[in-house]
Amino acid sequence: MTSYYQKVKEAIEYISSHKAEQPSVEQIAKACSVTVVELHSLFKNWCGLTPMSFLQALTLDHARDLLRHEATILDAAFETGLSSAGRLHDLFVTHEAMSPGEYKNGLDMAYGFHESPFGEALIVTTSRGMAGLGFVDEGNRAEALSDMQRRWPKARLVLNEIQTKSYVERIFNSSLWQPHNPLKVTLIGTDFQVRVWESLLKIPVGQMSSYGAIASHLNNPKAVRAVGGAVGRNPISFVVPCHRVLGKSGALTGYHWGLTRKQAMIGWEKGKVGG
């Protein structure tokens, strides 16, 4: 499940830059210099979908479909009693918030790099749980690391891949998503940011929400753009599923680690949820 991402990325990039021409599987395969059979098995192995149904997960139509009942999504999650310590996520995340004041003296954090279905991942943990998950692009680990350091300037980051390794498998292997032994996460941010990130944890896998719906959910329907800002500053990619937030039209709008990766996550999850 690891090194497939390079080819997947190529395919997604080809699809998005040629979407006007509705490319066929043959064309996509050719553009990625693989055979149709190879492309097929690549996608099957990576996310469980055929290239065609993966492609379908990336269309505006599909996004709009999922957004149709977005208003109920967050509230439904709330009603099922997921509001506090219980299941907040498909990954069974429990979280703890830490305000900027609480880490003013800095915090010891461990970091490590590990393969993931979306390229090489950077994991950052504290003794109280995982605090960050980012991605390496073009093999530039230093940049990925300083992106994290910039978020918590006073944190003392120490390489410790033994500590971070255990997280990776659990996070990206959906068959290990079990309620016992939940994944512990530390949300470090302002009060508003933490409330936004908590809302993100309520969006079920394979579902989508929009900036507006989250603002309304927080009883602050006009804070749409403020929500956008907070979503964009989410330090724990994938686990806090900011990739499930789209514009009201279904457009992707943005992603800190690149729109291609956002598309990859959406398609991958469609495979996991059985689309």
| Residue 230 near DNA by CB under 7 A | yes
User: Going residue by residue from 194 to 223, which x/- string records binding to DNA, judged by CB under 7 A?
Assistant: ----------------xxx-------x-xx
Whether 47 is catalytic is: no
Q: What span, in angstroms and rounded, lies between the C-alpha atoms of 38 and 44?
A: 10
Q: Give whichever of 57 and 242 is closer to DNA, judged by the CB atom.
A: 242
What is the CB neighbour count within 10 angstroms for residue 120?
19
Q: Which of 224, 272, 273, 275 binds DNA (CB under 7 A)?
A: 224
Alpha-carbon torsion angle 76, 82, 87, 93, nearest 10: 100
Least Cβ distance, residue 116 to DNA (angstroms) = 16
Given a contact cutoff of 8 angstroms between Cβ atoms, the answer to whether 54 and 263 are in contact is no
Segment 86-145, which members bind DNA (CB under 7 A)? none
Q: What is the DSSP letter of 182?
A: P
Of 149 and 220, CB closest to DNA:
220
Tokens of 245: 């937030």
Q: Which of 206, 247 has the CB closer to DNA?
A: 247
151 near DNA, rule: CB under 7 A: no
Spell out the residues 6+ positions from residue 185 whose beta carbon is closer than 8 angstroms to its own: 93, 94, 95, 96, 129, 130, 131, 236, 239, 240
Catalytic residues: 242
Q: Which residues bind DNA (CB under 7 A)?
A: 19-20, 60, 189-193, 210-212, 220, 222-226, 228-232, 234, 242-243, 245, 247-249, 253-257
